[in-house]
Structure 1
């Protein structure tokens, strides 16, 4: 399985004798491996594994630790995300741990799978024997390691700083790592595991909490808030507040000091180009293009009209020729002649000829002749004014037909007259508007835009009121909660009538419909009681006219109905401030979970309380060392790099210890690498082989012996 990594492979592996130990600091965040006696580890990488597949070849590759984002675009990472072998600082996924060890030994320079060097590997305090046994089995059987030693990383770091004179033999080791935090008491240079205390809160939870807060605060930039970037923001800007409550009040007041403590992360942003009004050449070009498109549409319409006229003329000539032939056909041969033409009777041919002639006259634009034809046809309505008792049944039927034709013709004439009057009124208004525009174009355009805005709001408000039954709560938001409030006036009137009728008839036997006046109820229900329907129609018509006028004189105008949701939601152009992420109260709120895990729902003690718990857990013979324990408190781990950590820890411990107790908190020389350096110095000592157990011991004594195994840190 190929590895993808930017870490260079070491070349001096063969120079070290087989008795030279390999030191591994197996942390929850980073994996560090190197040789005993050296100042720094040779290989450092993230303790995670990812195994994606190539999008083309389908080959599975193993990515251990940091990876190149530019290279991952060729792989499918949707089904295989970064995975860790740890669960709360305890190794439980040993198939992932095997990938990590393979990569670590490979980058250290080992040629094969056999490692002939003793191995010193770190573990967490009070590591379960099952995890230690599986790790020993993996090292012995998969890599052939001759001997193995297990030690606690916090103990190695404390001993390393003790040798440098930073801390005393008796003291507390406060280790806040990636996923857990430990407090381990030391008596005479040896850890007292019976009194240690642990909380499942670490740097992982701080980063995750910061990512959640920023995602809620800036939902539009969630894609930018990657885990790696939030981790960088945490390490660069977060700090521990000396007094969390007072710091929160400071930001609540919005004082100047709070503004000074706020940090800004500017996202990449490109200013949008300024919208300049179109030039005269651009307006002329658009007008010419519009005229060209209109001319093309007119030509297409004219061609379609000519084709239709030719088609109707041919059809008319064909029907006229059939009628001419039908006059010379004998009476007994009419049926056989009609069967060949496809028509049933002579009346059907005459009706088709009349319709074709009327359609042809319409397409030719002979409107005056058509009106004259209608007027001449109106003179034929001779039966309309004659009573029915003076007519035969056939004449009554013809009278109904004439009445229908006359009513339809009059309705058509009224509609045509109304359209004509509306066109005249529209032309008159357009003429007045044009005169106003020529007098003061800017003032006219502003007034027209204001009128369009007012009409749009009025129409939308009326639609909302109509939808919600005429009720609103003052904020233009519907306030109706019951079905009756969502009904309009006509619907409420119908419901009232039906309810009244049902109540009156429900007292006894249901006799509704026996009397003629009962059916008057439906006439009342069918009445249109809404008198305000003309208002919205007039407003909508006026809005359409204003919108059309704005389109003609303003090329940049876009109505709300034409604009999409994305355009209407971004009426204000995006500025530089829209691409800024401000870190204010989040700077100290996220690291505060180390001292108050309740902020994220973890019901455990904070770091300062853990120190007091560990001191109280000391055996009776060590109770006299209370003052000496608090006089040497060493901080280690990545979270100890937060500014203000030592002062806050000292203040917290001082609150739970008796008055006058000496308290001294100091930080490790290097909170990150001191664990590996202490282990490397321990493995380089001559007494180290006596602290290891070999493969033979493992096979002979088994897991029970590993349960009793404990490394001594003082020779």
Structure 2
């Protein structure tokens, strides 16, 4: 197992010492990705996720700090169950400077720097960054790393200026930056941002990805372990798009036509089909048969041994019982209980029954035919002799046996009564079936008509009872009277309650002093007992009639709402082997529903403006005339990670056209590279000769402190 130090050791850039101390270091401190490199170069040297994780090593228990993404093969040596990725940002503003220090350490070390950074630094930040965050960042860079000078600039403006040099946008325009956690709209006039008119909302790519993860997790809960945040981010970038008209797109998928099927995407999870068994050869079949015969012979030998042991045990038990019976025959009747006191038998009849039972078991074990038992009904008084014996002449063990015999006798009597009642009911049912069959044979047509009439009457009765319970009996005028809604049992219950309350109000409350008073509770607890019993009987009779009519009338169709009254058995779903379709995650409406939160944040519970509405707000905040606003709307520049979503530009243009006056000029363009243009623009800016005039030196910082940062505003046109 590798030591924890190997995880924190990054690969360093070998050419750090070749750059002169006057060459600035450019840092794009984004909410998702941290990029660092040298001024004047086309691409950053180091890029990684702007997150920190602090797991424990499984072997040593030491806590290590992991910055950015790491190899999953190495992460298995760490316990990540009690930690998670932590970002130094809160809504695109740095507030966790402890994590920010870890990230800067990692970035400078990857760049090749040692303990001190002796190069000027240009770092990006959000528009109108709070003074507290900027001052702590300056303190961290100056006092921890010994940076000689620093400069802060807005990433979206750097991207705009770079694309202006490429001819993609004008000097006056509007920068729409939709990033990881926030989105900004920044007006740019004469090459400089107008901070007073900018607009911001806390919606970004993180919310789109998180919303997609939630929807897929609810749709496929059995695959929730596969739907990670990283996989949701990948699905968003590959399959999501912005609908030009969200309502029309929803209706399209509701119809489920061919166009919706073409727009549906499928993600196939790893699935291995079950292997089909190959047909064994003759040698393999012979080997299996020999093995099966060997196992069968072993089982037969074990069964024979168990049978021999069982026969021996039964013979020993039978001999002991016969010896005990012989001892009872040699003594007189009063001494029988004393002889049986040390055994589990308490009478001669129980002993004879045990001998008969053991004899039958022994003959069965030997494979001999069983002797037919004589069905003699032994009276309960002889079967349970201790019931009639007084307690004072019995021993403690015999008293326990007497209680057991009393319980068994009572249970036997109850079973006999239930059996006799069941036999009588079956005989009565058989006589009723015979009578009905005789009636049917005498006049089949009349018999069938009577069954139909009775069936209709029962259906009407049950339906009227259901309506009565649901709505009550309504009178002609539409009102419902209290007395009309109550049954006879309910009216009696109300009368008892009224009587009890009247008697209680006469004087002293003596209710419950007599035993007769407690019968009132039993009477009041019976609510609709007669009606419920009658309903159960009617439903049972209806089910019987339905079965009878289905047997004798092929044209009979039962009512659908009453079919459920028939006795049906629950059918359990049959087992179905899993196929590749069970491991598919289908993306249909999720493809455009998740990016829609950029224009309708209220879909995820955030009461803020969307991108198109933010553009109108920012334009209204400008104190220029309409001609100047028309010049600005001729160059609406879209940057940030969400600018890569297909359909974002046409949807944004359509939303802004609804806000702007009719036939006003409008042009929406996307950055050449929405991801890297911010760093590249900052690298071009830092490589200019006049960059040193826009920086803050460490000497000025120690002399003036936060007041210098409060008044500091970088000039982008130099």
Aligned match of 2:355 in 350, 355, 360? 360
Other-structure match for 2:558? none
Are the aligned partners of 1:305 and 1:363 in contact in 2 as well (CA < 8 Å)? no
Other-structure match for 1:662? 665
Mark the CA change 1:279 to 1:109 in structure 2 (over 3 Å): closer, same or farther.
Answer: closer
Q: CA deviation at 1:162?
A: 1.1
Other-structure match for 2:94? 91
**1:671 equivalenced with 2:677 (yes/no):** no
Within 2, Cα distance between the matches of 1:195 and 1:121?
23
Alignment RMSD (CA, Å): 4.8
Within 1, Cα distance between the matches of 2:346 and 2:613?
104
Other-structure match for 1:133? 135
SS of the residue 2:83 aligns to: coil
Within 1, Cα distance between the matches of 2:208 and 2:494?
68
Within 1, Cα distance between the matches of 2:47 and 2:8?
12
Aligned match of 2:158 in 156, 159, 174? 156
Are the aligned partners of 1:6 and 1:68 in contact in 2 as well (CA < 8 Å)? no
**1:304 equivalenced with 2:310 (yes/no):** yes
SS of the residue 2:577 aligns to: coil
Other-structure match for 1:477? none
Within 2, Cα distance between the matches of 1:691 and 1:109?
26
Mark the CA change 1:502 to 1:128 in structure 2 (over 3 Å): closer, same or farther.
Answer: closer
Q: CA deviation at 1:573?
A: 2.3
Are the aligned partners of 1:52 and 1:80 in contact in 2 as well (CA < 8 Å)? yes
Within 1, Cα distance between the matches of 2:498 and 2:672?
95
Q: Residues 398-443 of structure 1: CA distance to partner in whole angstroms, max 9, x if unpaired?
A: xxx9xx99x989x99x99xx9xxxxxxxxxxxxxxxxxxxxxxxxx
Within 1, Cα distance between the matches of 2:659 and 2:47?
39
Q: CA deviation at 1:309?
A: 3.0
Mark the CA change 1:293 to 1:503 in structure 2 (over 3 Å): closer, same or farther.
Answer: farther
What pairs with 1:79-478 in structure 2 (closer than 5 Å)? 79-111=82-114, 113-272=115-274, 296=302, 300=306, 303-314=309-320, 316-317=322-323, 345=338, 348=341, 356=351, 358-365=353-360, 368=371, 371=374
Aligned match of 1:592 in 589, 593, 596? 596
Mark the CA change 1:647 to 1:499 in structure 2 (over 3 Å): closer, same or farther.
Answer: closer
Within 2, Cα distance between the matches of 1:504 and 1:39?
94
Within 1, Cα distance between the matches of 2:186 and 2:667?
16
Q: CA deviation at 1:693?
A: 0.8
Other-structure match for 2:56? 53
Q: CA deviation at 1:347?
A: 7.3
Mark the CA change 1:348 to 1:676 in structure 2 (over 3 Å): closer, same or farther.
Answer: closer
Mark the CA change 1:206 to 1:7 in structure 2 (over 3 Å): closer, same or farther.
Answer: farther
Within 2, Cα distance between the matches of 1:501 and 1:351?
58
SS of the residue 1:71 aligns to: helix
Other-structure match for 1:577? 581
SS of the residue 2:7 aligns to: coil
Within 2, Cα distance between the matches of 1:711 and 1:639?
27
Within 2, Cα distance between the matches of 1:5 and 1:265?
35
Q: CA deviation at 1:270?
A: 2.4
Are the aligned partners of 1:6 and 1:67 in contact in 2 as well (CA < 8 Å)? no
SS of the residue 2:705 aligns to: helix
Q: Residues 222-257 of structure 1: CA distance to partner in whole angstroms, max 9, x if unpaired?
A: 111111111111001111112222222211211211
Other-structure match for 2:607? 603
Mark the CA change 1:121 to 1:500 in structure 2 (over 3 Å): closer, same or farther.
Answer: closer
What pairs with 1:493-512 in structure 2 (closer than 5 Å)? none
> Which one is further off, 247-256 or 631-640?
247-256
Q: CA deviation at 1:572?
A: 2.4
SS of the residue 2:586 aligns to: strand
Other-structure match for 2:37? 34
Other-structure match for 1:637? 640
Q: CA deviation at 1:346?
A: 5.3
Mark the CA change 1:163 to 1:313 in structure 2 (over 3 Å): closer, same or farther.
Answer: same
Q: CA deviation at 1:503?
A: 9.9
Are the aligned partners of 1:118 and 1:148 in contact in 2 as well (CA < 8 Å)? yes
Other-structure match for 2:438? none
SS of the residue 1:116 aligns to: coil
Q: Residues 54-82 of structure 1: CA distance to partner in whole angstroms, max 9, x if unpaired?
A: 11211222221112222222211111111
Within 2, Cα distance between the matches of 1:211 and 1:671?
24
Mark the CA change 1:576 to 1:355 in structure 2 (over 3 Å): closer, same or farther.
Answer: same
Q: Structure 1: which 5+ runs fail to align?
A: 328-333, 382-400, 419-470, 473-479, 482-494, 514-524, 536-564
Other-structure match for 1:555? none
Mark the CA change 1:133 to 1:312 in structure 2 (over 3 Å): closer, same or farther.
Answer: same
SS of the residue 1:687 aligns to: helix
Mark the CA change 1:288 to 1:242 in structure 2 (over 3 Å): closer, same or farther.
Answer: same
Aligned length: 564
Within 1, Cα distance between the matches of 2:121 and 2:310?
92
Mark the CA change 1:707 to 1:314 in structure 2 (over 3 Å): closer, same or farther.
Answer: same
Mark the CA change 1:511 to 1:232 in structure 2 (over 3 Å): closer, same or farther.
Answer: closer
Within 2, Cα distance between the matches of 1:344 and 1:250?
92
SS of the residue 1:242 aligns to: coil
Other-structure match for 1:618? 622
SS of the residue 2:261 aligns to: helix
Within 2, Cα distance between the matches of 1:643 and 1:293?
71
Q: CA deviation at 1:586?
A: 1.3
Q: CA deviation at 1:121?
A: 0.6
**1:65 equivalenced with 2:68 (yes/no):** yes
Q: Structure 2: which 5+ runs fail to align?
A: 364-369, 383-404, 423-461, 464-468, 471-488, 504-510, 518-529, 542-569
Are the aligned partners of 2:35 and 2:47 in contact in 1 as well (CA < 8 Å)? yes
Q: CA deviation at 1:294?
A: 8.0
Mark the CA change 1:108 to 1:3 in structure 2 (over 3 Å): closer, same or farther.
Answer: farther
Within 2, Cα distance between the matches of 1:706 and 1:503?
83
Q: Residues 81-113 of structure 1: CA distance to partner in whole angstroms, max 9, x if unpaired?
A: 1110111100011111111001000100113x2
Within 2, Cα distance between the matches of 1:505 and 1:180?
72
Are the aligned partners of 1:148 and 1:694 in contact in 2 as well (CA < 8 Å)? yes
Q: CA deviation at 1:582?
A: 1.4
Other-structure match for 2:446? none
Q: CA deviation at 1:132?
A: 0.3
Within 1, Cα distance between the matches of 2:699 and 2:224?
55
